[in-house]
Amino acid sequence: MYKNLLFEVKGNVAIVTINRPDKMNSLNTETLDELKSLFLSIKEDENIYVVIITGSGEKVFVAGADIAELNKLTVISAKEFSEKGHEVFNNIENLGKPVIAAINGYALGGGCELALACHIRLASENAMFGQPEVNLGIIPGYGGTQRLSRLINSGRAAEIILSGKNFDVNEAYRIGLVNKIFSQSELIEKALNLASGIASKGQIAIRHSLKAIRGASEIPLHEGLKYEISLFALTCGTDDFKEGTSAFLDKRKPVFKNK
């Protein structure tokens, strides 16, 4: 159905794999369009609770935007090009369901930016990171200047973006870019374990948590705290809240119905 993406669903977890191996899984326009369409259908699919996004093979997550396409841009088309990437990555970040990046190798340029748009980043031991755009005479155009500066500190983000140097997974872990490091063979299994754990909770609580966390990077603290109060109160109107708290008191496992 998709030329450059693989898609499978295990239980309530979807796995999206960028699959353009002859071009290092780089994001050409066709792949971005496919990602847009797939994430729109994932958003609508009530049986998908959590998404994992990864790259095919054992070497590359995503090696950035397609440099052959970049090479042809003009000022006008570059604006549209950047806007398209932003739209797709914003849709991922605002999916309303958790998205886990399972970074299985190089995450460069748009690949690092794609990982930044996800909510949780897990990586394999061979993963390499970088924003090499300055080496091409451009700047990151898929959200990297903004999301990297917010996720890690702005001094570190400046070093990464201005030096254009790649760095390894240990450095990525040290600066808080990735949450955990696994062997290549374990990565998807560990991502699935995490995703299945999240999928086993009441999904209203998961989605409200995600909204509140997202709020933290977008609104001032006093507004964010009020937002948390509203979302907390809303969760207390759900059947899941009654079930979760009652199950604890009854010393049994809760059965959430996402209502």
Instruction: Give me the active site residues, please.
Output: 113, 133
Block residue for tokens 């394999």 = 124
Strand 128-130 and strand 13-18: the pairing is unpaired
- Residue 187, token pair as written in the block: 């990565």
Q: Which of 85, 109, 144, 202 binds ligand COA (CB under 6 A)?
A: 109
Q: Among 109, 20, 8, 3, which residue's Cα sits nearest to residue 53?
A: 8
Interface size with ligand COA, residues (CB under 6 A): 17
Select the span of 4-12, 105-113, 149-157, 213-221 touching ligand COA (CB under 6 A). 105-113
Q: Among 92, 99, 116, which residue's Cα sits nearest to residue 40?
A: 92
Residue 113 makes contact with ligand COA by CB under 6 A:
no
Q: Which of 39, 61, 81, 106 binds ligand COA (CB under 6 A)?
A: 106
Residue 133 makes contact with ligand COA by CB under 6 A:
yes
Q: Among 231, 238, 249, which residue's Cα sits nearest to residue 202?
A: 238
- Residue 221, token pair as written in the block: 């603290």
Select the span of 20-28, 41-49, 79-87, 149-157 touching ligand COA (CB under 6 A). 20-28
Distance in angstroms (rounded) separating the CA atoms of residues 161 and 175: 14
Which CB sits closer to ligand COA, 24 or 205?
24
Which residues lie near ligand COA (CB under 6 A)?
A: 23-24, 26, 60, 63-68, 106, 108-110, 132-133, 136
